[in-house]
Amino acid sequence: MARGVIFDVDGTLVDSVDLHARAWEEAFRHFGFTVPYPLIREQIGKGSDQLLPALLPKDVVEEIGTKIDEFRSDLFKREYLPQVRAFPSVRDLFERIRFDGAKIALASSAKGDELEVYIRIAGIGDLIDAATSSADAGRSKPYPDIFKAAVAMLRGIDRSRTIVVGDTPYDAEAAKAAGLETIGLTCGGWAPEKLRAAGCIAVYRDPAELLKEYERTPLGADE
């Protein structure tokens, strides 16, 4: 039974992946770049430090990458953030985990003010023990920085008894590099086989299914 659970947020707890991809697509277009939507969507889950170099030439990123990111951030907060909704049963799942005595941390590539909104949307502010955002990581996923920061905040919890829940291969890769195992959720849009190939030890549809199967998942299974 896990004693610490670290959750990704976008695409895992809140339905925001398509909204982020649209904001990026619009930002690229504003600066004169046409980037296919499917390619953008595949990069959601990374922070801008990893997403931009994956989609634009190096010289462009160096010259105007910060401006593109700032435009995208303002656009997302203004036009898309109000549309974000939590997936079903997020609060119920967190209550079940806390009932077992486990601690919960959030590990998101979102900026701090966006993360605060997500926490309110999901109604979980009173159920989390720690939360890390882009400011807590030198590099975003698939690098392990954000998960290492979350582990450090969950003081007194053995890393071997801590598990990550995420929706992208980048979550699984980052968690593995941090010495953690990952449960994958497909509600962010990635196929089960992609999540397993990246290292997820179990895959479920969404927080509701993870809660429904709780006792048979790595979260609730007896050791």
The fraction of the chain above a pLDDT of 70, given in percent, is: 98
Q: What pLDDT digit, counting tens, does each position of 64-90 carry?
A: 999 999 999 999 999 999 999 999 999
Average pLDDT of the segment spanning 137-142 = 89
Q: What pLDDT digit, counting tens, does each position of 14-46 carry?
A: 999 999 999 999 999 999 999 999 999 999 999
Q: What is the pLDDT of residue 159?
A: 83
Name 62's Cβ contacts closer than 8 Å, sequence gap at least 6. none
Q: What is the pLDDT of residue 89?
A: 98
Burial class, 150, CB count within 10 angstroms (exposed 0-12 / middle 13-18 / buried 19+): buried
Quickly state the pLDDT bin for 138 (edges 50, 70, 90). confident
Average pLDDT of the segment spanning 8-18 = 97
Per the listing, tokens 């909204």 go with 19
Reading the block at residue 5, the tokens are: 């659970």
Distance separating alpha carbons of residues 7 and 15, to the nearest angstrom: 14
Q: What is the pLDDT of residue 223?
A: 53
pLDDT at 135 over 90: no
Name 92's Cβ contacts closer than 8 Å, sequence gap at least 6. 211
Distance separating alpha carbons of residues 79 and 90, to the nearest angstrom: 24
Average pLDDT of the segment spanning 209-222 = 91
pLDDT at 57 over 80: yes
Nearest to 105 by CA among 158, 151, 159, 168: 151
CB contact at 8 A, 206 and 90: no
CB contact at 8 A, 127 and 64: no
Residue-range domain boundaries for the chain: 4-16+85-216, 17-83
Q: What is the pLDDT of residue 222?
A: 61
Average pLDDT of the segment spanning 196-201 = 98
As a whole number, the mean pLDDT across the chain is 95
| Angstrom distances, CA of residue 73 to CA of 47, 60, 69, 174 | 11, 18, 6, 23
Quickly state the pLDDT bin for 1 (edges 50, 70, 90). low
* Beta bridge pairs of residue 131: 106
220 versus 181: the higher-pLDDT residue is 181
**Four-point Cα dihedral 167, 177, 150, 49, nearest 10:** -70
Query: Between 3.40.50.11900, 3.40.50.720, 3.40.50.1000, 3.30.70.2190, what CATH number should domain 4-16+85-216 receive?
Result: 3.40.50.1000
Average pLDDT of the segment spanning 194-201 = 98
